[in-house]
Amino acid sequence: MGAGRYIVVEPGRAEVAFALVDEYQGQGIGAALMRHLAAIARDAGLKELIAEVLPENMAMLNVFRKSGLRPTTRREADIMHVTLQLS
């Protein structure tokens, strides 16, 4: 029904990504994946997760907002750059 992952892009920093089957969206699965990935990332010594999200993808932006990690966003052209501090 869905998956999430992060890829370390530099020491202490990783890019996070999710994919969910449409029929399972809006059920809290993305938020659960985000919390789980954040915990794993912290345990691995990461300090920050980043993501690039289309501005119209409000569902994913809401997952980050509800993560409890206080995301910061920066818009550049047609992409939102999201940063989530883990510490």
Half-sphere exposure of 36 (CA within 13 A, CB side): 11
CATH of the domain at 74: 3.40.630.30
Q: What tokens appear for 39 in the block?
A: 């915990």
Torsion sign over Cα 35, 71, 13, 18: positive
What pLDDT is attached to residue 55? 94
- Determine the structural domain holding residue 18 and report its residue range: 2-85
The tokens describing 41, both together, are 């990332």
pTM assigned to the model: 0.88
Q: In this predicted structure, what is the pLDDT of residue 1?
A: 85
| Residue ranges of the chain whose pLDDT lies below 50 | none
Residue with tokens 């997760």: 49
Looking at the structure of the chain, the number of domains it has is 1
Placement of tokens 């510490």 in the chain: 87
- Residue 49, amino acid: L
Residue 39: the pLDDT is 95
Question: What are the structure tokens assigned to 33, written together?
Answer: 């994946």
